[in-house]
């Protein structure tokens, strides 16, 4: 079930082919790299491709879900840059479209679409972990607005973003049934990361980048105009964002199908169709040898054999042989995720809703993403560990580190499995 609208898909593909920068893409986790990505977002916006599923009035194209998926397919297949504005575009944007006032929509959505304002999320807290309802950062009533105090963490993009949005406790006394009390008394707020009282401390990630930050808030004033919905209603509004089909719940398969295709290509280079070894060995050279040139050119030749011992040399199979079924399974899983997502999109387009089923997808894509990249690194040989390697093989390590976060964020996979068991299968709490 491919999206019908071949025209839009074709337009996107053509535009991306001519516009995606050819060279290496800088990290989004440095000031320069962030600026580079902001410029790319502006280029997308100028082509009205930055927020395709939004209403035309705010810079979008009113694209259907299927068209949005087609765009994502093409975006990943073109190896286009990571979306630095995605917190705003996929999380806050849909929330404003659903729960924001028309004043808020008109004021905030266009600069978001143009990347004039890039948003960070401010959900988690140091002691809340996966337990989002354990929020302690406070919003205290002040004249014409609220004063924010507390600490937010794991705030992606916050190191360089302009603004942030998140939940705060506005009514600490909310009580009643203790099982649900924690979910009441929360307020959904937006604030500037440059406001007085805001301190941002970047957090270094596993791979060395600073994609996360901690946000310290000390009586930061937020006007009433920047509250979404009613005070006390924040939990409900946030949950509707978390479940938004164009956000995290219906994650586009583009990343996975593009990576699966690259994995097949990598595997093909390390093994022939019937298991014939790939190119091996290095041409004889006269004079003292050096390995400098090899690092960037010969690449995969080194993974083909490990014939250190003469007696075994003749019998050694290609490395690719010993990962063939993992490659097959990764491709099949990426295919399954793509087909499942399109089927879900078709169902949603026909008026269906997405509830706890989203948990099935979360676990599946996050495990798939890790397995795909792990298999590639197992095939890659001595270059696998090099950070920031140029060329297509250089993307596997970064992709792997990125994938490792998948089973943790947006509700750990343990939590998701419990949701599946209790809410979909009906097992007792």
Partner 1 sequence: MSLAGSAEQELFAAALHELLTDADVTGTARRWAGQDYAAGLAVWRRLAGAGATALAVPGEHGGLGASLADVMIACEEAGHHALPGPVAESLAAVPVLLAGLAAEPAVAAWLPLLAAGDLIATLALPPQRPYAADAGAAGLTLLVQDDMAWLATPGTSHPSVDPARRLWSVDGRELLARGPAVAAAAGRAADAGALACAAQLLGAGRALLEQSVQHARQRTQFGRAVGSFQAVKHRLADVAIALEFARPLVAEAAAAQTEGRATAPRDTSAAKVAATDAAHLAARAALQVHGAIGYTRELGLHLWLTKVQALASAWGSQAGHRARVLAALAADEATA
Our CB check for partner 1 shows the closer of 140 and 390 to be 390
- The least distance separating partner 1 from the CB of residue 300, rounded to whole angstroms, comes to 10
User: Considering only residues 245-304, where is the footprint of its own copies by CB under 8 A?
Assistant: 271-277
Which option in partner 1, its own copies, none does residue 204 bind, with CB closer than 5 to 8 A by kind?
partner 1
Using rule CB under 8 A, residue 397 touches partner 1 = yes
Using rule CB under 8 A, residue 197 touches its own copies = no
End-to-end CA distance of the chain: 37
DSSP-derived secondary structure letter, 92: I
DSSP-derived secondary structure letter, 392: G
2 catalytic per annotation: no
Does residue 87 contact residue 157 with C-beta atoms inside 8 Å? yes
CA 235 – CA 112 distance, rounded (Å): 23
- Do β-strands 198-203 and 212-223 pair in parallel, antiparallel, or remain unpaired? antiparallel
Q: Which residue has the tokens 């901690």?
A: 214
Structure tokens given for 166: 């998140």
Question: Segment near its own copies (CB under 8 A), from 77-85, 89-97, 324-332, 388-396?
Answer: 324-332
CA 6 – CA 12 distance, rounded (Å): 10
DSSP-derived secondary structure letter, 244: -
Which option in partner 1, its own copies, none does residue 188 bind, with CB closer than 5 to 8 A by kind?
none
Does residue 52 contact residue 67 with C-beta atoms inside 8 Å? yes
Question: Segment near its own copies (CB under 8 A), from 23-31, 230-238, 284-292, 315-323?
Answer: 315-323
Using rule CB under 8 A, residue 286 touches partner 1 = no
Structure tokens given for 212: 């996360």
Question: Segment near its own copies (CB under 8 A), from 185-193, 254-262, 314-322, 401-409?
Answer: 314-322
Q: List the one residue out of 407, 261, 253, 257 whose CA is nearest residue 343.
A: 253
Given 242, 316, 346, 421, the residue binding its own copies (CB under 8 A): 316
Using rule CB under 8 A, residue 181 touches its own copies = no
Given 219, 325, 355, 391, the residue binding partner 1 (CB under 8 A): 325
CA 231 – CA 236 distance, rounded (Å): 11
Which option in its own copies, partner 1, none does residue 276 bind, with CB closer than 5 to 8 A by kind?
its own copies
Given 18, 315, 351, 353, the residue binding partner 1 (CB under 8 A): 315
Catalytic residue (choose from 103, 214, 245, 414): 245
- Alpha-helical regions (H) of 50-90: 65-77, 86
Q: Using CB under 8 A, list all residues that contact its own copies.
A: 271-277, 315-318, 321-326, 328
The catalytic residue positions are 245
């Amino acid at each position: 079930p491919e999206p019908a609208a071949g025209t839009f898909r074709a337009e996107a593909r053509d535009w991306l082919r001519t516009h995606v920068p050819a060279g290496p893409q800088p990290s989004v986790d440095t000031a320069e790299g962030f600026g580079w990505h902001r410029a790319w977002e502006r280029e997308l916006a100028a082509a009205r491709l930055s927020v395709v599923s939004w209403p035309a009035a705010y810079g979008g194209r009113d694209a259907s879900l299927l068209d949005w998926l087609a765009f994502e397919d093409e975006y990943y297949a073109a190896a286009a840059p990571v979306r630095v504005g995605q917190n705003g575009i996929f999380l806050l944007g849909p929330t404003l479209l659903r729960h924001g006032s028309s004043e808020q929509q008109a004021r905030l959505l266009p600069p978001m679409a143009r990347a004039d304002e890039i948003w960070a999320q401010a959900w988690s807290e140091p002691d809340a972990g996966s337990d989002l309802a354990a929020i302690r950062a406070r919003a205290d009533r002040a004249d014409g607005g609220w004063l924010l105090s507390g600490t937010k963490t794991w705030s992606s993009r916050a190191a360089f973003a302009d603004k942030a949005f998140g939940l705060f406790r506005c009514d600490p006394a909310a009580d009643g049934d203790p099982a649900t009390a924690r979910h009441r008394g929360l307020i959904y707020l937006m604030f500037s990361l440059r406001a007085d009282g805001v301190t941002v401390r970047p957090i270094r990630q596993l791979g060395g980048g600073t994609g996360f930050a901690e946000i310290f808030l000390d009586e930061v004033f937020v006007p009433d105009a920047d509250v979404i919905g009613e005070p006390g209603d924040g939990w409900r509004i946030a949950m509707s964002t978390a479940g938004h089909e164009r956000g995290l719940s219906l994650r586009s398969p583009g990343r996975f199908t593009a990576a699966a295709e690259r994995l097949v290509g990598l595997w093909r280079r390390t093994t022939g169709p019937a298991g014939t070894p790939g190119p091996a060995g290095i041409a004889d050279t006269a004079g003292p040898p050096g390995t400098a040139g090899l690092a960037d050119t010969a690449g995969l030749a080194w993974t083909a054999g490990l014939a250190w011992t003469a007696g075994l040399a003749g019998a050694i199979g290609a490395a690719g042989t010993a990962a063939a079924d993992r490659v097959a399974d990764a491709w099949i899983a990426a295919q399954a995720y793509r087909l499942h997502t399109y089927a879900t999109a078709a169902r949603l387009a026909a008026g269906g809703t997405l509830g706890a089923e989203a948990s099935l997808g979360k676990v599946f894509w996050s495990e798939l993403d890790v397995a795909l990249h792990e298999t590639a690194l197992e095939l890659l040989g001595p270059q696998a560990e090099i950070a920031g390697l140029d060329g297509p093989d250089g993307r596997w390590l970064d992709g792997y580190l990125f994938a490792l976060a998948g089973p943790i964020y947006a509700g750990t996979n343990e939590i998701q499995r419990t949701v599946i068991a209790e809410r979909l299968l009906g097992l007792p709490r």
